[in-house]
Chains A and B, each alone.
Chain A
Amino acid sequence: MTDRPNVSGSLRNRLALTLIGGAALLAILLFFAVRNYAVQVAQQGQDNILVASVTSMLDAAAIRDGTVEVDIPYAAFSMLTTSADDRVFYSVFQDGNLLSGYGDLSLANDTFGGNKTFQTNKVRGATVRQISASRTLIGANKRTEIQIALAQTQDALSETLDQISRNAALLGIGFFALTAALSFWATSSTMGQLNKLTTSVTRRGPQDLSPFKKPVPREMAPLVNSLNSLMGRLDHSLGQSEDFIAEAAHRVRTPLATVRSYAEATLQRVDKEENREAMRSMVRAIDESSRAAGQLLDHAMITFRADHLEREEIDLVELVRDLVLRLTPIAEMKDLTLAVYGDEQVRYAGDPILIQSAVRNLVDNAMKYGPADSEIDISVTANPRPEIKVCDNGPGFPTQEIDTLATRFKRGKNAEDTIGSGLGLTIVQDVATAHGGSIKLTNQREGGACVTFSL
């Protein structure tokens, strides 16, 4: 009855993914920003100490008795002590010639005139931070440039950076976890509004096509608006159909009944045999039209009502007896007897109008095919399922078509000379399906057809 909607993607997943993806991106950015900043700060710290150390060394340079002395202060290297015991390399040059220190540590290119240059180098297989600095010494009769290269490994620095990286990573992960939790919460609270709307649509009664009045978030207002307008139109067109059906039934049946009564009356007055025959044909044709119109209307009504099944507690036996009472005059016209058997009372919750029309169609069919002076048996039983069985003494169903007979506008092969639109069994079938039941067509051994209508 309801088609599964064409689902493509999930709004919740898309929202959660976007939020979590954004959070992950931000966390990674945060991590790198913090780490980058820490690298700068830590490097700045090491550079400052190197500057202080090299400055104290340069300050200790002096010309005495015409020779250069560099009396390196104990503190110059002492201040380079780190927790990771970083290695220290240095070299002292005078005008580019090595005076003392490590020969494999060379100056930066532009070390003159008080320049200080930082480099990251490799010395003896270790990565070092190197500063090259110089100082001009002025003696009695000469001018000379003292240049010092000082390098320190970066073990303590990388230890610090590792620690900061760990902390930054923890910060990033914490930030991400918090944001992820928040996005889950945000997603489900947003989706909650949609779910609420869905629930209130689902919970509505079949006849309830009134507009939604509960407050919804602004973004959902267009959806609710179009839903409301759709239901409005639906309500309107359903009302129109119902009116049309009632109108059509009235407009078609009443004039036909009038015409028929006129024809009957005329038949009484006409004496000429050929005219009487013509009048009888006319009455038969009118009956056929009236019946077809009735069945069409029945069917339309069933289609409409079956979509919005309204169940109420009824007694099937009482319903059948009522119907038999109403149909007895027609049966007597054909010299048929209607007999009701079965249980005293069969309680069932169903749509009485639909069930009535189904049973009427069954009895109608039976009266159509049943030969004169025969009996039509209607039995109503409660166990194992509520069941109404109608049997006649007619020719029975053609065995090869027994399965396809209940399709719309199809009639049995042997029915060509009988009035009918082919809708009868279809109506019965539809009513049974709407109530979750079924019909079964069988032939009696001694002749005659049986239809079992079970609910």
Chain B
Amino acid sequence: MRYILALAISMFAFAVAAQDWEDRQVFNQGASNSPLRIISSTDTDLFAPILQSFVARNPSISIEYLVTGTADIDRRFRANPEAFDIAISSAMDLQLKLANDGFARSLQEVSHPAWAQWRQSLFAFTSEPAAIVINKAAFAGHPIPKSRQDLIEALRARPDVFRDRVGTYDVRQSGLGYLFATQDARASETFWRLMEVMGSLNVRLYCCSGDMIDDLTDGTIAVAYNVLGSYAAARVESQSALEIVLPSDFPTTMMRTAFVSEETTKPEVAETFIQHLVAQQSNTNGEKQLLPSLDVPGNGRERATIALEPALMTFLDRLKRTKFLAEWEDALIQE
């Protein structure tokens, strides 16, 4: 009952917020032309250096940067593909499906390795592993878990400490959370056991990494599962309190992707931007970057990075998604 209520409230809030943006900024406002509209799931402060260096090089171009959740990007973009020039999201599956469905424009001038692009229209520009982020205070005197199995044991060992104090994505709302969950589920049964343990501890569900890290920093929760390590690392004030653990059993690494809308009115500018973006992110020895760069999947790590392939669409199938969400709810939400 409580779950239904929570869902109803969250859906309502979601619907209201849909008209609005999490953040909205215009870079290089002085330029007279209509701005390049970028819809993105990446927080503005993480992405700002790339935008600033782009407008510095192209002073005649202004950029309107719109931030919203990954699932919302998919919804808004499908509804109004002509309203945006570029879509950037961490939900690889949703992005790939948009490209597959013909929303992405093929860019012939962008040179990018085959594993990091799809159909020369969807371009990956970061490698970001999903992490277990821990508030060190909760583990004082106890070993820091290094894998999912360790985490399960740690949670089981001290249920009183962790009750109401574990968090993860609400995969029903977050596209990235759903991607991580489905890839974890593919990789190992450990995922489901972890979900069951977390469910028994009355897990808190979050829409976004930012909120989760906020709660983690102030001690509301002690453990967050499947958070983007990059977000945690970017919070300077949180760094002393938090420990970012990349699970040693099987890391799940996501690549942030960008594509140009098929219906863009500024194909040349948008293509230039994508070129700038991949060049900045591939060039690791430049100035300090806030966003992780794109790493070549090395030996033994192939399984780790989620591949850009049509198989990503599997879990987006309506029947498959319904089934997965049912299992997920069964495991995680216990009345």
Using CB atoms and an 8 Å cutoff, list the residues of chain A in contact with chain B: 69-78, 80-81, 83-89, 92, 99-101, 124-126
- Interface contact A88-B313, CB-CB below 8 Å: yes
Select B323's contact among A71, A74, A75, A92, beta carbons within 8 Å: A71
What residues of A have a CB within 8 angstroms of the CB of B314 in the complex?
72-74, 76-78
Residue of B nearest to A76 (CB): B314
What residues of A have a CB within 8 angstroms of the CB of B309 in the complex?
77-78, 81
- Interface contact B313-A85, CB-CB below 8 Å: no
- Interface contact B101-A71, CB-CB below 8 Å: no
What residues of A have a CB within 8 angstroms of the CB of B159 in the complex?
none
0/1 interface trace, chain B 158-201, chain A, CB 8 Å (1 if under): 00000000000000000000000000001000000000000000
What residues of A have a CB within 8 angstroms of the CB of B1 in the complex?
none
Residue of B nearest to A98 (CB): B318
Select B320's contact among A72, A75, A81, A87, beta carbons within 8 Å: A72
- Interface contact A71-B100, CB-CB below 8 Å: no
Using known A-B contacts A72-B320, A101-B317, determine if residue A125 contacts B310 with beta carbons closer than 8 Å.
Answer: no
Using known A-B contacts A74-B311, A77-B314, A78-B311, determine if residue A100 contacts B118 with beta carbons closer than 8 Å.
Answer: no
What residues of A have a CB within 8 angstroms of the CB of B120 in the complex?
85
Residue of A nearest to B182 (CB): A74
- Docked Cα-Cα span, A75 to B309, in Å, equals 11
The verdict on B119 contacting chain A, using a C-beta distance below 8 Å, is yes
6 residue pairs, one from A and one from B, having the closest CB atoms: A78-B311, A100-B318, A77-B311, A85-B119, A88-B310, A77-B310
- Interface contact A85-B323, CB-CB below 8 Å: no
The verdict on B13 contacting chain A, using a C-beta distance below 8 Å, is no
- Docked Cα-Cα span, A84 to B205, in Å, equals 39
Q: List 30 A-B contacts (CB under 8 A).
A: A69-B323, A70-B319, A71-B319, A72-B314, A72-B319, A72-B320, A73-B314, A74-B311, A75-B311, A76-B314, A77-B310, A77-B311, A77-B312, A78-B310, A78-B311, A81-B311, A83-B114, A84-B119, A86-B310, A87-B100, A87-B102, A87-B119, A87-B310, A88-B313, A99-B318, A100-B320, A101-B317, A124-B101, A124-B102, A126-B102
What residues of B have a CB within 8 angstroms of the CB of A77 in the complex?
309-314
- Interface contact A69-B319, CB-CB below 8 Å: yes
- Interface contact A71-B310, CB-CB below 8 Å: no
Select B317's contact among A81, A89, A100, A124, beta carbons within 8 Å: A100
Using known A-B contacts A77-B309, A77-B311, A87-B119, determine if residue A71 contacts B320 with beta carbons closer than 8 Å.
Answer: yes
What residues of A have a CB within 8 angstroms of the CB of B310 in the complex?
77-78, 80-81, 86-88
Least distance between A46 CB and chain B CB atoms (Å): 14
Least distance between B189 CB and chain A CB atoms (Å): 15
- Docked Cα-Cα span, A73 to B119, in Å, equals 23
What residues of A have a CB within 8 angstroms of the CB of B323 in the complex?
69, 71
Least distance between B278 CB and chain A CB atoms (Å): 17
What residues of B have a CB within 8 angstroms of the CB of A89 in the complex?
100
What residues of B have a CB within 8 angstroms of the CB of A83 in the complex?
114
Q: Which of B310, B312, B317 has its CB near the most chain A CB atoms (within 10 A)?
A: B310
Known: A70-B320, A87-B102. 13 other contacts (CB 8 A): A71-B319, A71-B320, A75-B311, A78-B311, A78-B314, A80-B311, A85-B308, A87-B119, A92-B319, A100-B318, A101-B317, A124-B102, A125-B102
Residue of B nearest to A125 (CB): B102
- Interface contact A72-B317, CB-CB below 8 Å: yes
What residues of A have a CB within 8 angstroms of the CB of B319 in the complex?
69-72, 92, 99-100
- Docked Cα-Cα span, A345 to B207, in Å, equals 132
Residue of B nearest to A101 (CB): B317
Residue of A nearest to B114 (CB): A83
Least distance between B78 CB and chain A CB atoms (Å): 13
Least distance between B316 CB and chain A CB atoms (Å): 10
Using known A-B contacts A74-B311, A75-B311, A81-B309, determine if residue A88 contacts B100 with beta carbons closer than 8 Å.
Answer: yes
Least distance between A207 CB and chain B CB atoms (Å): 83
What residues of A have a CB within 8 angstroms of the CB of B308 in the complex?
85
Least distance between A286 CB and chain B CB atoms (Å): 113
- Docked Cα-Cα span, A135 to B19, in Å, equals 44
Q: Which of A69, A86, A100, A125 has its CB near the most chain B CB atoms (within 10 A)?
A: A100
0/1 interface trace, chain B 87-130, chain A, CB 8 Å (1 if under): 00000000000001110000000000010001110000000000
- Docked Cα-Cα span, A73 to B310, in Å, equals 12
0/1 interface trace, chain B 296-335, chain A, CB 8 Å (1 if under): 0000000000001111111001111001000000000000
What residues of A have a CB within 8 angstroms of the CB of B317 in the complex?
70, 72, 92, 100-101
